[in-house]
């Protein structure tokens, strides 16, 4: 029953307004529940903002602590035609190699003069062998059946459809003859091929380029093996096994090329800077979410939340208290001397040794020059300190993130419970509204009857 059907028809009262006012009073408990849900949702959003910064910090610390970060190299080449590129991994090592580029990897190109029109062969099939063509197990013989179209284009189409790693094309010369050109899809000796059964051509199949491997000679190559020389080959113009962690690509025959791989100190410093930035981002987010403005008396969603504010203290203490870690150079068979700090099993240092400090505002700062100087002076201990700092920060960020995630789960469960209560109140309030509407409707009906009786009585009295 809608309120418009009972709105003051007899009494002249705005019963719909009265019902609305009464319903506001009845809905007060539900309104308070909705306010609690809104507050809890705002808090959850704030917790999630802090947690996302913690996850980013954990990821940055994981990157810094990875062995691939500390074993990365930065290669350089003495030649503009030789490119040296670092390969991500943990097997990279500093070093230098000198070599001569004696050959480049090429694909085979075979051609034959063919008629521009009509069939160029009467053969029903071709035998194509792909491999080093040395009679080894790597040689693969495939029979390609030719269709009715035995023109140059038809044969080229049949070869291409076989998918054997041989690309066939017909080159138009503008005369009565064309060129059937067969090219290996890959470079290297293992991609060589031969074709049997293609008889009756205007000219025989001729190799205009042979499939060859690229070759580098070190120390004079295999020809000077007695003096330690050796050769390395590749089916492509890229060599990945000559230097650990370095990929070398060649593009020209050249002697006396030097490739040097040095430790990528810049890359290490960038990873430390990334972790410092992530830490500062976490501190800033915590400050924003827990701030209190004394002038406006305005709180933030997490003002007074000790668990969140404590994250800042835990993080800052990691820097202010320094590091204690296992000495990678410790030799248990040799004496230790605490006075000179030599051969100690445990080393305690300030993080300033690797360039990390706290500034006056309580934020982390990183000095790349200090880190570089420390690494160049003692790369082993600097690596150990950097990995320990990363591992401790990662563990801290993981633990704090897990705690925040638990709080978020608890708040979401609370929100679900409140929303369930709100839904229950919807049912109650709907029933209450119907009851009020019926009450006022009945009241109007009763008043209508009384009014009719009054009118009747008045009519009877006036007739006397």
Task: Quick: pLDDT tens for 45-64.
Answer: 999 999 999 999 999 999 99
* 99 dihedral zone (left: phi>0; alpha: psi -120 to 50; beta): beta
Helix axes 265-290, 379-463, angle to 10 degrees: 30
Query: 319 CB contacts (<8 Å, ≥6 apart)?
Result: 351, 356, 357, 358, 364
What share of the chain has pLDDT > 90, as a percent? 60
What is the pTM assigned to this prediction? 0.74
**How many helices (H) does the chain have, and how many strands (E)?**
8, 21
Confidence band (pLDDT; 50, 70, 90) for 240? very high
Confidence band (pLDDT; 50, 70, 90) for 312? very high
- Residues 379-434 pLDDT 10s: 988 999 999 999 999 999 999 999 999 999 999 999 888 888 888 888 888 888 88
Report pLDDT for 224: 95
Q: Does residue 4 carry a pLDDT above 60?
A: no
Which sequence spans correspond to the domains of the chain?
1-70+264-464, 73-103+214-263, 109-209
Report pLDDT for 67: 92
Confidence band (pLDDT; 50, 70, 90) for 12? low
Report pLDDT for 11: 59
What share of the chain has pLDDT > 70, as a percent? 96
CA distance 209 to 189: 12
DSSP E strand stretches across 91-221: 95-103, 109-115, 125-130, 140-145, 166-172, 177-184, 193-196, 206-209, 214-218
CA distance 417 to 235: 66
- Please say whether the beta carbons of 246 and 92 come within 8 A: yes
Overall average pLDDT of the 16-39 stretch: 82
Confidence band (pLDDT; 50, 70, 90) for 355? very high
- Please say whether the beta carbons of 188 and 211 come within 8 A: yes
- Residues 137-160 pLDDT 10s: 899 999 999 999 999 999 999 999
Q: Does residue 296 carry a pLDDT above 80?
A: yes
Q: Which two tokens stand for residue 111?
A: 């051609």
Torsion angle of the four alpha carbons 430, 432, 434, 438, in this order, in degrees rounded to the nearest 10:
180
Q: Does residue 233 carry a pLDDT above 60?
A: yes
Confidence band (pLDDT; 50, 70, 90) for 344? confident
Q: Does residue 444 carry a pLDDT above 80?
A: no
Report pLDDT for 39: 85
Overall average pLDDT of the 113-123 stretch: 89
Q: Which two tokens stand for residue 46?
A: 């704030």
Q: Does residue 442 carry a pLDDT above 80?
A: no
Confidence band (pLDDT; 50, 70, 90) for 8? low
Confidence band (pLDDT; 50, 70, 90) for 1? very low
CA distance 233 to 245: 18
Report pLDDT for 17: 80
Residue 224 burial (10 A CB sphere; 0-12, 13-18, 19+):
middle
Query: 63 CB contacts (<8 Å, ≥6 apart)?
Result: 69, 271, 274, 275
């Amino acid at each position: 029953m809608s309120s418009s059907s009972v709105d003051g028809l007899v009494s002249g009262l705005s019963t719909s307004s009265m019902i609305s006012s009464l319903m506001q009073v009845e809905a007060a408990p539900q309104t308070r529940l909705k306010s609690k849900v809104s507050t809890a949702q705002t808090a959850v959003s704030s917790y999630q903002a802090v947690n996302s910064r913690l996850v980013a910090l954990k990821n940055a610390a994981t990157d810094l602590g990875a062995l691939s970060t500390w074993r990365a190299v930065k290669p350089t080449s003495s030649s503009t035609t030789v490119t040296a590129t670092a390969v991500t991994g943990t097997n990279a090592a500093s070093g230098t190699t000198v070599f001569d580029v004696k050959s480049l990897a090429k694909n085979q190109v075979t051609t034959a003069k063919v008629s521009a029109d009509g069939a160029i062969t009467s053969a029903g099939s071709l035998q194509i062998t792909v491999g080093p063509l040395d009679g080894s197990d790597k040689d693969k013989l495939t029979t390609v059946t030719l269709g009715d179209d035995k023109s140059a284009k038809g044969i080229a189409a049949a070869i291409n459809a076989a998918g054997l790693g041989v690309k066939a094309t017909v080159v138009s010369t503008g005369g009565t003859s064309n060129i059937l050109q067969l090219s290996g899809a890959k470079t290297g000796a293992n991609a060589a091929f031969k074709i049997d059964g293609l008889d009756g051509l205007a000219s025989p199949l001729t190799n205009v380029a042979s499939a060859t491997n690229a070759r580098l000679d070190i120390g004079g190559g295999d020809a000077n093996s007695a003096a330690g020389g050796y050769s390395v080959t590749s089916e492509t113009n890229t060599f990945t096994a000559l230097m650990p962690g370095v990929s070398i690509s060649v593009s020209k025959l050249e002697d006396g090329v030097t490739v040097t791989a040095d430790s990528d100190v810049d890359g290490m410093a960038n990873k430390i800077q990334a972790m410092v930035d992530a830490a500062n981002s976490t501190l800033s987010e915590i400050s924003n979410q827990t701030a209190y403005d004394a002038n406006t008396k305005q709180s933030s969603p997490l003002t007074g939340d000790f668990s969140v504010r404590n994250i800042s203290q835990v993080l800052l203490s990691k820097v202010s208290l320094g590091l204690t870690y296992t000495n990678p150079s410790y030799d248990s068979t040799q004496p230790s001397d605490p006075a000179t700090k030599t051969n100690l099993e445990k080393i305690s240092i300030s993080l300033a040794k690797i360039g990390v400090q706290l500034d006056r505002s309580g934020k982390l700062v990183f000095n790349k020059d200090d880190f570089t100087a420390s690494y160049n002076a003692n790369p082993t201990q600097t690596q150990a300190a950097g990995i320990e700092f990363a591992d401790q920060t990662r563990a801290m960020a993981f633990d704090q993130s897990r705690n925040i995630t638990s709080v978020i789960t608890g708040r979401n469960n609370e929100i679900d419970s409140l929303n369930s209560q709100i839904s229950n109140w919807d049912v109650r309030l709907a029933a209450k509204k119907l009851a009020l509407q019926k009450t006022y409707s009945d009241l109007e009906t009763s008043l209508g009857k009384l009014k009719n009786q009054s009118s009747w009585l008045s009519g009877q009295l006036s007739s006397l």
